Amino acid sequence: MPMPTLQIESFFDPATSTVSHLVLDPDSRACAVIDSVLDFDPKSGRTSTASAERIAARIRALDARVEWILETHVHADHLSAAPWLQQQFGGRLGIGEHIATVQAVFGRLFNAGRDFARDGSQFDHLFRDGEHFTIGNLQAEALHTPGHTPACMSYRIGDAVFVGDTLFMPDYGSARCDFPGGDARTLYRSVQRLLALPPDTRLLLCHDYSPGGRAPCWESTVADQRAHNIHVHEGVSEEDFAAMRTARDATLDTPVLMLPSVQVNMRAGHLPPAEDNGVRYLKIPLDAL
């Protein structure tokens, strides 16, 4: 039987350099949304659904049925719009099963109360490594690709893999590994696993930072990454990668939206509960990071 073709539409958010993907099975009209963005202005504390509404408009125009709302990981640079999309369209919210490890770390950092479950139960489904699932007639597989965070997943759908923050475009390299639970050697091994896939496998990324001012792009192939990735091209050893990554991470600033993002995304994108005046608050831990 020929492999059903998938249709991919990607949405770039310039404010956070994040790419969200809509993956459609044109035959059944089933779709998945991967790594959506809830806009957040840290100066005013206002959230907005403008970015997610662009995706929503396409879902309606395509007359698509949302089966899955997927997160590759607990993002530290943007808030997730997964709950808003789920409210509009239904679908099941999924992330990797090691989310519990991330929730334990950040639950401690933010001194979240007993109402914050640390077992991933805010999500509808926790994917195991190698687990198969479907989007309409499309065959998909969840791959545990830790390193940037301990719970990072990649989703292989048809001939494309949505790699989250493992690899970036070849001219930008790889994701940082200095967040709690991150590890450069672990990321190297995850990347090797992705680069062992067939050479023409398409790799869809979660971010692009337009090095040298080029236009944003978010798709490459295994062959392209093996030949040209500035951090992990063929021939780079685990030792060399870990030394480079650790040195580079030491120079990077904390992402502007890290504290807001993490305390929302650890709750599957739900904002913290309102206080008795009806207002929701984010916390800033002082001298704790």
**Residue 34 beta carbon to Fe ion: minimum distance, rounded to whole angstroms:** 13
Residue closer to Fe ion, measured from CB, 71 or 165: 165
Residue type, 227: A
**Residue 3 beta carbon to Fe ion: minimum distance, rounded to whole angstroms:** 30
Q: How far apart are CA 172 and CA 207, in angstroms?
A: 10
Q: How far apart are CA 182 and CA 199, in angstroms?
A: 27
**Range in contact with Fe ion (rule: CB under 5 A) among 57-65, 69-77, 81-89, 114-122:** 69-77
Q: Strand 138-144 vs strand 125-127: parallel, antiparallel, or unpaired?
A: unpaired
Q: How far apart are CA 244 and CA 281, in angstroms?
A: 38
* Sign of the alpha-carbon torsion through 26, 64, 120, 152: positive
**Residue 165 beta carbon to Fe ion: minimum distance, rounded to whole angstroms:** 4
Query: Does the protein bind Fe ion through residue 71 (CB under 5 A)?
Result: no
Query: Does the protein bind Fe ion through residue 208 (CB under 5 A)?
Result: no
Edge to edge, the sheet with strand 219-221 lists 132-135, 138-144, 153-157, 160-162, 202-204, 219-221
Residue closer to Fe ion, measured from CB, 72 or 220: 72
> What would the x/- binding string for Fe ion be over residues 124 to 163, using CB under 5 A?
----------------------------------------
Q: Interaction with Fe ion in 75-104: which residues (CB under 5 A)?
A: 75
Q: Three-state SS for 249?
A: helix
Query: Does the protein bind Fe ion through residue 165 (CB under 5 A)?
Result: yes
Residue closer to Fe ion, measured from CB, 165 or 183: 165
Nearest to 262 by CA among 242, 231, 289, 223: 289
Q: Which residue is nearest to Fe ion (CB)?
A: 165
- Which chain residues interact with Fe ion by CB under 5 A? 75, 165
